[in-house]
Amino acid sequence: MLTVKTPEEVYALLSDTFAQGPLGVEELPLEQATGRVLSAPVTAQEFVPGFDRSTVDGYAVRASDTFGCSDSLPALLTLQGEILMGEGASMPLSSGECAAVPTGGAIPQGADAAVMIEYTEDYGDGTIGILKSAAPGENLIFKGDDVRPGKTVLPAGRKLTAQDIGALAAMGISRLPVSRRPVVGILSTGDELVPISEIPEEGQIRDANSAMLSALVQEAGGTPIAFGILKDEEPLLRAGLDQALTACDMVLISGGSSVGMKDATCRVLEQQGGILFHGVAMKPGKPTILGLCKGKPVFGLPGHPAAAFFVSELFVRPLIGRLLGRTVRERSIPARLTEAVSANHGRAQYMGVFLTGEADMPQAHPIHSKSGLITSLAGSDGFFCIPRDCEGVPAGEIIRVRLYSVD
What torsion, rounded to 10 degrees, do the Cα atoms 311, 314, 317, 321 define? -150
Q: Does 190 bind Mg ion (CB under 5 A)?
A: yes
Q: Does 258 bind ligand AMP (CB under 6 A)?
A: yes
Listed ranges 129-137, 170-178, 297-305, 318-326: which one lies at the site for ligand AMP (CB under 6 A): 297-305
Beta bridge partners of 230: 189
In whole angstroms, what is the distance from residue 137 CA to residue 112 CA? 6
Minimum CB separation of residue 213 from ligand AMP in Å reads 9
3-state secondary structure 34-54: CCCEECCCEECCCCECCCCEE
Listed ranges 54-62, 97-105, 178-186, 249-257: which one lies at the site for ligand AMP (CB under 6 A): 249-257
Minimum CB separation of residue 270 from ligand AMP in Å reads 18
Q: Does 36 bind ligand AMP (CB under 6 A)?
A: no
Minimum CB separation of residue 203 from ligand AMP in Å reads 10
Site string for ligand AMP, 355-384 (x = CB under 6 A): -----------------x------------
Q: Does 303 bind ligand AMP (CB under 6 A)?
A: yes
Site string for Mg ion, 285-324 (x = CB under 5 A): ------------------x---------------------
Q: Does 256 bind ligand AMP (CB under 6 A)?
A: yes
Cβ contact 98:149 at 8 Å: no
**Residue closest to 382 by CA, chosen among 407, 362, 358, 353:** 353
- Residue 257 touches which of Mg ion, ligand AMP, none (CB < 5 to 8 A by kind)? ligand AMP
Q: Does 188 bind ligand AMP (CB under 6 A)?
A: yes
Q: Does 283 bind ligand AMP (CB under 6 A)?
A: no
Listed ranges 187-195, 204-212, 245-253, 360-368: which one lies at the site for Mg ion (CB under 5 A): 187-195
Minimum CB separation of residue 176 from ligand AMP in Å reads 37
- Residue 366 touches which of ligand AMP, Mg ion, none (CB < 5 to 8 A by kind)? none
Minimum CB separation of residue 253 from ligand AMP in Å reads 10
Listed ranges 92-100, 187-195, 276-284, 317-325: which one lies at the site for ligand AMP (CB under 6 A): 187-195
- What's the number of CA atoms in the CB half-sphere (13 Å) around residue 183? 10
Q: In the chain, count of helices (H) and strands (E)? A: 8, 28
Q: What is the per-residue DSSP string for 193-249?
A: EE-TTSPP-TT-EE-HHHHHHHHHHHHHT-EEEEEEEE-S-HHHHHHHHHHHHHH-S
List binders of Mg ion among 226-285 (CB under 5 A).
255-256
Listed ranges 27-35, 69-77, 189-197, 390-398: which one lies at the site for ligand AMP (CB under 6 A): 189-197
Q: Distances from the Cα of 256 to the Cαs of 23, 172, 187, 381, in angstroms?
A: 29, 52, 11, 29
Listed ranges 81-89, 151-159, 300-308, 381-389: which one lies at the site for ligand AMP (CB under 6 A): 300-308
Q: Give, for 130, the enclosing helix (H) or strand (E).
A: strand 127-130
In whole angstroms, what is the distance from residue 153 CA to residue 41 CA? 8
Q: Give, for 7, the enclosing helix (H) or strand (E).
A: helix 7-17
Task: Give whichever of 300 and 321 is closer to Mg ion, judged by the CB atom.
Answer: 300
**Residue closest to 325 by CA, chosen among 4, 19, 14, 104:** 19
Minimum CB separation of residue 255 from Mg ion in Å reads 4
Cβ contact 48:170 at 8 Å: yes
Beta bridge partners of 76: 129
Q: Which residue is nearest to ligand AMP (CB)?
A: 303
**Residue closest to 229 by CA, chosen among 262, 196, 273, 278:** 196
Listed ranges 30-38, 217-225, 296-304, 314-322: which one lies at the site for ligand AMP (CB under 6 A): 296-304
In whole angstroms, what is the distance from residue 44 CA to residue 220 CA? 28
Cβ contact 402:313 at 8 Å: no
Q: How many residues bind ligand AMP (CB under 6 A)?
A: 18
Residue from 80, 214, 257, 288 touching ligand AMP (CB under 6 A): that is 257
Residue from 105, 185, 190, 222 touching ligand AMP (CB under 6 A): that is 190
In whole angstroms, what is the distance from residue 291 CA to residue 297 CA? 6
Tell me which amino acid residue 195 is: P
Residue ranges binding ligand AMP (CB under 6 A) = 188, 190, 192-193, 205, 207-209, 254-258, 302-305, 372
Residues forming contacts to Mg ion in the complex (CB under 5 A) are: 190, 255-256, 303
